Chain A
Amino acid sequence: MLRIENLHVGYGEAAAISDVSITLGKGELVCIIGPNSAGKTTLVNAIARLLPVRAGKIIIDGQEATRLTPQQLCDLGVAIIPEGRRLFTSMSVEENLDIGCYHAKARANRMQSLARIYDMFPVLSERRRQIAGTLSGGQQQMVAIARALMAQPKLLLIDEPSLGLAPVIIKQVFETISAIHTQGVSILLIEQNATKALAISQRAYVLDCGAMIAEGTPAELRDRSEINAAYFGHGH
């Protein structure tokens, strides 16, 4: 579904991401964990085509996507739940969802998608007319998830979904991501909260200082003491 080969991304002289390679199979949920400022968001923004790539390749569903515009990426069935949610804050909840299905293919199924999403998040149905910027953080995250689902993505990029949310909401968000994965969507999850992310992922990569330092199944990573110590804070 997604293959990244020797990707380099950088601002100016400094390389924010160097020589990163990732694979994500169809229907897989893969997470990228790592400390703050490890380059996780840079990586996901490069995949989402919001940042230019310096070198390397991004291949999505067998198609070269390295130089596409965000709009062309949308044609390939990729949707993003960005860090900090980045809703259309002056628009209503339902208008945010409408933009989610702006693409012609998704728009054709608007009614079914809306019904499914309001079923999944009843609170969004109650607040469909409310301006998105006035919702609570947790509800805004639901809108961000729902907006991406309206696009009926094949590949979903999720960046730091737990950021700034209360623990009870975080639990709910991860359950939702897991449920979306069960419905067959391939997911690349970027998350600082390694414990939570590994609990729902099939495979994981560890990113630090812009480089990939480890990969494996959650169990394998937990068994590696140096990673355990550095990223889970569980000691040895």
Chain B
Amino acid sequence: MISATLLGQSLLSGIFSGCFYAMLGLGMTLSWRYLKVINLAHFAFVLIAAYLTYQLVGKSGLHPLVVAVLLIPLFFALGIAQQALIDYYKVNEFASVIVTFGMAIITEAALQWFWSADYLKLESHYLRGSTQIGTLFLPIGEAVMALIAVVMCAAVWAALRYTWLGKALRAGLDNPQIAASFGVPNRQLSYLVAGVSGATAAIGGIFVALLFTLAPSQIFAWLGVVFAAALLGGLGSPIGVLAAGLLLGVSEALTMAVIAPAWAPVVPFTLLMVILLIWPERV
């Protein structure tokens, strides 16, 4: 029988993983639903941002917040540029998987070219260490990441639900022609979604650099589980992707603690399949 401490600690680490999946999945679920782009290049953006953070924080000595101020607008613009290309070539939903997968492969090669295929670790004192709550250790970096992920999901949810732009976006999804007849600028809104998605990739990338070891192949490390979180959460739903991310993260962590670490990757897809079987209208 495993101890309560181990269980608590793995629950905590599952929550952190879940929030991380949501942070990466937010941009993906938005572009999937609102742009009809299944954007695998989102992970390429995340890794580019991570390597840039590695360079700017680790080598140039900038504060991560300064890096955030630089990268967020840059990746907002990159997101728009990517969407402009996808628009220009009239890439449809299914083709978008192939096209953005290609972009991810090219990015992997480019990252290897600049930073080599070796593992790199950002050595910095930012968000290091942990505090203890009872018998549990709370790592500062993960906790900050989780908090920001929750804030991001909640902010996007509120924006979609309560702002004029959010309502216009949903109306455009229901009925683009009629929405346009009432003055909704569908095209500009789609660029806004692409930009926001890009900006979330920048934030995700900064935390990837601060919390993980970097390798170009990491582009594909979280693809499967984040894909599952986006689908399970209901496409386009920021709260859904957070909830699904937490479900996947926690169940993975518990599998690792209770059964064996090797079984953890099986969990997200088993859950995805089971839920799709019993609740097919979810997606």
A residues near B (Cβ < 8 Å) are: 48-50, 69-71, 73-75, 79-80, 82, 86-91, 95-96, 98-104, 107, 147, 151
- Say yes or no for B177: interface residue by CB 8 A criterion: yes
When the two chains form the complex, which single residue of B171, B174, B175, B181 contacts A74, counting CB atoms closer than 8 Å?
Answer: B181
| Contact A80/B178 with A71-B185, A102-B183 known, Cβ cut-off 8 Å | yes
User: Contact between A103 and B171 (Cβ–Cβ < 8 Å)?
Assistant: no
- Say yes or no for B36: interface residue by CB 8 A criterion: no
When the two chains form the complex, which single residue of B171, B175, B183 contacts A71, counting CB atoms closer than 8 Å?
Answer: B183
- Cα distance A86–B184 when bound, in Å? 15
When the two chains form the complex, which single residue of B170, B179, B181, B185 contacts A90, counting CB atoms closer than 8 Å?
Answer: B170
User: Contact between B177 and A70 (Cβ–Cβ < 8 Å)?
Assistant: yes
User: Contact between A99 and B177 (Cβ–Cβ < 8 Å)?
Assistant: no
Write out the residue numbers on chain B whose beta carbons fall within 8 Å of the beta carbon of A96.
171
User: Contact between B182 and A89 (Cβ–Cβ < 8 Å)?
Assistant: no
- Cα distance A49–B174 when bound, in Å? 19
Write out the residue numbers on chain A whose beta carbons fall within 8 Å of the beta carbon of B59.
none
User: Contact between B181 and A48 (Cβ–Cβ < 8 Å)?
Assistant: yes
Which residues of B in the span 157-191 have a Cβ within 8 Å of any Cβ on A? 164, 167-168, 170-171, 173-175, 177-185
Extra contacts besides A88-B170, A100-B182, A101-B182 (13): CB < 8 Å = A70-B180, A70-B181, A74-B181, A75-B183, A82-B178, A91-B167, A91-B170, A95-B167, A98-B167, A99-B179, A102-B168, A104-B183, A151-B183
Q: Which residue of chain B lies nearest to A151 when distances are taken between CB atoms in the complex?
A: B182
Write out the residue numbers on chain B whose beta carbons fall within 8 Å of the beta carbon of A49.
181
When the two chains form the complex, which single residue of A70, A73, A87, A98 contacts B164, counting CB atoms closer than 8 Å?
Answer: A98
Query: Can you identify 12 A-B contacts, CB atoms within 8 angstroms?
Result: A69-B180, A71-B181, A71-B183, A88-B179, A90-B170, A91-B167, A91-B174, A99-B179, A102-B164, A102-B184, A103-B183, A151-B183
When the two chains form the complex, which single residue of A50, A69, A95, A103 contacts B182, counting CB atoms closer than 8 Å?
Answer: A103
Q: Which residue of chain B lies nearest to A90 when distances are taken between CB atoms in the complex?
A: B174
| Contact A79/B182 with A91-B167, A102-B168 known, Cβ cut-off 8 Å | yes
Task: Give the tally of cross-chain contacts (CB within 8 A).
Answer: 73
Report the minimum CB–CB distance from A48 to chain B (whole Å). Answer: 6
- Cα distance A84–B168 when bound, in Å? 21
User: Contact between A86 and B182 (Cβ–Cβ < 8 Å)?
Assistant: no
Report the minimum CB–CB distance from B236 to chain A (whole Å). Answer: 10
User: Contact between A88 and B174 (Cβ–Cβ < 8 Å)?
Assistant: yes
Choose among B168, B171, B181, B185 the residue with the greatest number of A CB atoms under 10 Å from its CB.
Answer: B181
Report the minimum CB–CB distance from B17 to chain A (whole Å). Answer: 31
- Cα distance A70–B168 when bound, in Å? 15
User: Contact between A71 and B167 (Cβ–Cβ < 8 Å)?
Assistant: no
- Cα distance A95–B165 when bound, in Å? 12
Report the minimum CB–CB distance from A55 to chain B (whole Å). Answer: 22
Write out the residue numbers on chain B whose beta carbons fall within 8 Å of the beta carbon of A88.
170-171, 174-175, 178-179
| Contact A86/B178 with A71-B183, A71-B185, A102-B183 known, Cβ cut-off 8 Å | yes
Write out the residue numbers on chain A whose beta carbons fall within 8 Å of the beta carbon of B180.
69-71, 74
Report the minimum CB–CB distance from A179 to chain B (whole Å). Answer: 22
When the two chains form the complex, which single residue of A50, A82, A99 contacts B171, counting CB atoms closer than 8 Å?
Answer: A99
Write out the residue numbers on chain A whose beta carbons fall within 8 Å of the beta carbon of B164.
98, 102, 107
- Cα distance A226–B194 when bound, in Å? 58
Report the minimum CB–CB distance from A73 to chain B (whole Å). Answer: 7
- Cα distance A90–B167 when bound, in Å? 11
Write out the residue numbers on chain A whose beta carbons fall within 8 Å of the beta carbon of B183.
71, 74-75, 102-104, 151
Write out the residue numbers on chain B whose beta carbons fall within 8 Å of the beta carbon of A147.
182
Q: Which residue of chain A lies nearest to B188 when distances are taken between CB atoms in the complex?
A: A71
